[in-house]
Structure 1
Amino acid sequence: MRRRLSIPELGGARAVILHRPHATVAALTRQLHAVGLQVDCCWPDLPASVHGADFLFLDVDTAYDDQFPWTAGEAPLPTIALIGSEAPGRIEWLMNFGADAQILKPVGDNGVYSALLIARATFDARIGQAGEIDSLRRRLGQRQTVVQAVTLLAARGKTEDEAYEQLRAMAMAWRISFEEAAARIVAKPDASATKERDNG
């Protein structure tokens, strides 16, 4: 079942605007202050304090890869793209950067609040999916390790079922998880066999 999203409280959050001095920055700052955010403006370098910020606004028309201390698509905070140019090269750069929301320039008197909410929700979903993928990869790796361990044990003259039960018994005897026992056997099959005989 899909989790229902709720509107987060934004008051007291901090936004960084990476944009050369411009009327766009003044318009953004007014809207962000109205919502209750603190604002830091910078150009062309991002301060180290960006890692403690809650949102990053960036000017797609002039931004470039070396400004960001992270790999494209892996920003550690919600990012909002400010788009003025629809030049193919700039749009391609934006697609590779992977912003969580966007605002078209020129920036007027509205649009920032919804962009903040969309960016937050998109960022949270991206981080959640990345965690789920990592978890699935770990589980898949553990299953492959169990299969390898059972294969090693079966090579000692046991059936697959007997090898599986032996692995379970070894995990209980060593007081570790099934997967940890499998990893130990795969890492040092001979040592595991000796330990099993010693415990038996």
Structure 2
Amino acid sequence: MRRRVRIGNLGGARAVILHRPHATVQALERQLGAIGLLVEAHWPELPAAALAADFIFFDADLGHDGQFPWAPGAAPMPMIALIGSEAPGRIEWSLDIGADAHVLKPVGGAGVYSALLISRSAFEARQQLAAEVAALRDRLEKRQTVVRAVAMLMGLGKSEDEAYAQLRRMAMAWRVSFEEAAERLAEAPRGPDAGARHDG
């Protein structure tokens, strides 16, 4: 199902600009202020308070990994690259660091608002994808735990169907999910015999 893009009010959002003092910063501050954002500029490093920002604009020309207090691609907010040089290496670095959108320098009278919306949409899509991947990994790990628990029970001479049935009864007796019962059984210090005795 196609995700609907949310275009909301940006007024009151906080933007941090990581760029050396320059006319680019002044032009960007004017545009962001006109949109209704609260703006602050820093160079060469981000202060700890920047972690609470809603958007980060950063200099793609002179920026480097060590300027950000998070791993590349793991920013807790949308990041927008300010690009003056279209050298492939600089663009590649911007993408690696996690740019969700970009604005070309020199900053003119347009482009900032759309960059804000595009970056927020890309950031939210990336966050949603990361959550879905984490959930899939969790489900896979739980399935592997169930397989281990069933194998343990089969090691006691039960058939596969009997092992699954016993694990299901354990879950009901312990009032936990099927997967949690498998985890308890797989991690039981005395092995499957302990779980089997608790099965009743």
Per the normalisation by structure 2, the TM-score is 0.96
Q: Tell me the residue number matched to 1:120.
A: 120
Identify if the C-alpha distance between structure 1 residues 154 and 192 changes in structure 2 by more than 3 Å, giving closer, same or farther. closer
Q: Tell me the residue number matched to 2:187.
A: 187
Contact 1:152 1:189 in 2 (8 A): no
Q: Tell me how far apart the structure 2 counterparts of residues 112 and 146 of structure 1 sit (CA, whole Å).
A: 51
In structure 1, the gaps of 5 or more residues are none
Q: Tell me the residue number matched to 2:103.
A: 103
Q: Tell me how far apart the structure 2 counterparts of residues 172 and 41 of structure 1 sit (CA, whole Å).
A: 58
Is it true that 1:136 corresponds to 2:136 in the alignment? yes
Identify if the C-alpha distance between structure 1 residues 194 and 157 changes in structure 2 by more than 3 Å, giving closer, same or farther. same
The DSSP-based 3-state class of the residue aligned with 1:190 is: coil
TM-superposed deviation, 1:98: 2.1
In structure 2, the gaps of 5 or more residues are none
Q: Tell me the residue number matched to 1:178.
A: 178
Alignment deviations for residues 113-165 of structure 1 (CA, whole Å, 9 cap, x no partner): 00000000000000000000000000010011101111110111111000000
Q: Tell me how far apart the structure 1 counterparts of residues 88 and 142 of structure 2 sit (CA, whole Å).
A: 44
Is it true that 1:61 corresponds to 2:65 in the alignment? no
Q: Tell me how far apart the structure 2 counterparts of residues 72 and 155 of structure 1 sit (CA, whole Å).
A: 46
Root-mean-square deviation (Å): 1.3
Which runs of structure 2 are paired with 1:11-90 in the superposition (5 Å)? 11-90=11-90
Which runs of structure 2 are paired with 1:141-160 in the superposition (5 Å)? 141-160=141-160
The DSSP-based 3-state class of the residue aligned with 1:17 is: strand
The DSSP-based 3-state class of the residue aligned with 1:27 is: helix
Amino acid at match of 2:57: F
TM-superposed deviation, 1:189: 6.2
The DSSP-based 3-state class of the residue aligned with 2:194 is: helix
TM-superposed deviation, 1:11: 0.4
TM-superposed deviation, 1:8: 1.8
Identify if the C-alpha distance between structure 1 residues 167 and 195 changes in structure 2 by more than 3 Å, giving closer, same or farther. closer
Aligned length: 200
TM-superposed deviation, 1:92: 2.3
The DSSP-based 3-state class of the residue aligned with 2:57 is: strand
TM-superposed deviation, 1:187: 1.1
Amino acid at match of 2:83: I
TM-superposed deviation, 1:60: 0.3
Contact 2:169 2:199 in 1 (8 A): no
Identity across matched positions, percent: 62
Identify if the C-alpha distance between structure 1 residues 180 and 70 changes in structure 2 by more than 3 Å, giving closer, same or farther. same
Q: Tell me how far apart the structure 1 counterparts of residues 34 and 198 of structure 2 sit (CA, whole Å).
A: 71
TM-superposed deviation, 1:32: 0.3
The DSSP-based 3-state class of the residue aligned with 1:156 is: coil
Contact 1:184 1:192 in 2 (8 A): no
